[in-house]
Structure 1
Amino acid sequence: MSSETPQAQRAKGGRGAQLERSGLRPGWTTGACATAATTAAYTALLTGEFPDPVTITLPRGQAPAFALATEELTGTSATAGVVKDAGDDPDVTHGALVRSTVRRLPAGAGVVFRAGPGVGTVTRPGLPLPVGEPAVNPVPRQMMREHVARVAALCGGSGDVEITVSVDDGEEIARSTWNPRLGILGGLSILGTTGVVVPYSCSAWIDSIRRGVDVARAAGRTHVAGCTGATSERTVVAEYRLPENALLDMGDFAGAVLKYIRRHPVPRLTVCGGFAKLSKLAAGHLDLHSARSQVDKGFLAGLAGRAGADEALAAEVAAANTGLGALQLCMSAGVPLGDLVATAARDRALAVLRGAPVAVDVMCIDRAGAVVGRSAVA
């Protein structure tokens, strides 16, 4: 799957070595699939034959081959389709059929991109594409342009083409993504900066967080909220009446939100999430996933002790089965552990922001969405 030897990848300490050690199989982005389909379609348009499999070159030099799932050739256009294989990543677009239809344009027209069925259109500013453009991101566009130029040079074409990218059932799949909130309507985005899907890297989620910040800034929002889930979103909306494009689906990626806002400040950030998750942020973790960080009940016991809990209560907190269990013990004793965690989480967020002009407050909630801890704005 890579043009490099395993020895070379290990020597570079790159993703290939990491994936080899993990035992997880990488996959291909929608951008790589669209590039493969485009390459096959344009080759057929010029030669009458579809290369199958079709080989492309990715930005980091890998040269994967893709089998064609569909092909259609008419007098004026050619269409090829590739089924996306996301490897071992739990990607909602795994198994999606990505099609590219290539049509000749007059000399000098260049490469023009269109959104076919299942590919979205940009309707709000703040994204890396202008309003009205098909949601085919810049790197996949560049990959397709480069491969069109290569095919033209090999097969005698001008390289002036219209590329229409579509994804079967893409509009339905897109409902499970951030696209509707970001103002990308009608389907999926064609994504990818390397062409490779790294299993469990969650790069698409983090990219969506960044685009959410961009859209909020472009809309003039001065207050955004990073929320760990739907319940925390409802709590923030009830508290602050924030519009949808001010809500960042942070999930477990507190660090991704804070680091991006550090570089692209918004005047105010509210972080809202479950008490247990935010206790991890308070303790210094920036990835809140249960597989990568755990609730530190000893840390919670220390906070409780500094707030007046006696040794017996602190010991109970340290031995509690869950973070919420520790919180309930303190609430019964009148110790404001929720506020202490929220304040510590806010201070951790401010430390990551490194003096960026962003005021921060934190709200901790229980499973029902009730606020059980709150920090001041600082």
Structure 2
Amino acid sequence: MMKKLLRNYIKTFEGLSKEVWWLSLITFVNRFGAMVVPFLSIYLNESIGISEKNIGWIMTAYGLGSVTGSYLGGKLTDCLGYYKVILISLFFTGINFLWVMHITSFMGLCLSFFFLITMADMGRPAFFVALSAYSKPENKTRSLTLLRLAINLGMGAGPMIGGILIGTLGYKALFYADGCTCLLAAFLMMYVLNPKKAKEVDTEVIVAMPVAPQKDIPYLYFLIGLSLFAMVFLPIFTVVPLYYRSVYQISEVNVGLLMGVNAFLIVILEMPLVAWLQKKSFDNIQLTIIGIVFTGVSYLALLWEAWVGVVLISIVLLTFGEMIGFPFSNKFALDRSKIGKQGAFMGLYTMAFAIANIVAHNAGMQITAYYGFKMVWLFLFGLAAIACFFMYLSRRMLA
């Protein structure tokens, strides 16, 4: 029985190009280094003494940098090509991580994280375009899932190692690890995905008269819903770790282990789950809506504070929402990008997450400061309901 399950699991990865595997490995190395993110709010609060309100504003600067980087990344990808943009992004992100840890003033932190995330998110549209170029049309959803698996495996393993580094070497070790892994990913990119060595396998034809994404109304409705979905998801990196500490006094190491549950489930279940869902009669937007519902319900579970085990139930529900919602929303965006310039379409796709970064972290921290955690969970569930509505509007216009 176990051998059959293992064979079926391995089978879900068959047929993907070697370039997709290399791109996923580069992404893993990069995201493994993103150890700072889950501990950022705790680091700013406990190590530097930044108040919860000011942490919210620092995260807003972080989000503004994400919007700027996503926009520039989309434009530059169409002008320079995905390879150069990814390389520039990885290199300068690594350099930025190595000096941002020396900044302690509030304004300095706002500016530093703005520039850091601008460089980091500049590469996101390029990664999606590269993945599309290296994937056959019939393999794109599975290729996206493999890339997400690499992202989540890296971001899941990173916090676990990060928690250990904090306990032994302190917070600065995280910034060194982040900077060095970004630089390592850049050198790996130069070695294995140089345009002279890697080949594109996408055979789909892009239209001769491309449509501007700003004029694609169904796509814009989709992006609004996606941005709201991201706003619901992102507090897992800021408000939720503080909730673990404040309500249940969970240590940094155990916060990292809880984040690891998310990564473990994604590694084991996401690829088979996506492969199974592809065989069903649901379309990409319907599956995105299902993912949003799971994510919203995960926060409702946290309203019950009588039992610490509820945090595990919540992270499992959120993980299923992530595994279902994000791969198929990504596939919808890639499919839609064929009617225009891919960099511009995927730039707006990543900007939806960037805008969510501006709003979600600050709103979550401000609501926490003034009204407490329970009001945050209700607010996020309400956003999930609105996100479902915009996804429904998008699907209705395409029907």
- Whether the TM-score (by the shorter chain) exceeds 0.5 is no
Greater share of residues in strand: 1
Greater share of residues in helix: 2
TM-score by length of 1: 0.24
Higher relative contact order (CA 8 A, sep 6+): 2
Which has the higher Rg, Structure 1 or Structure 2? 1
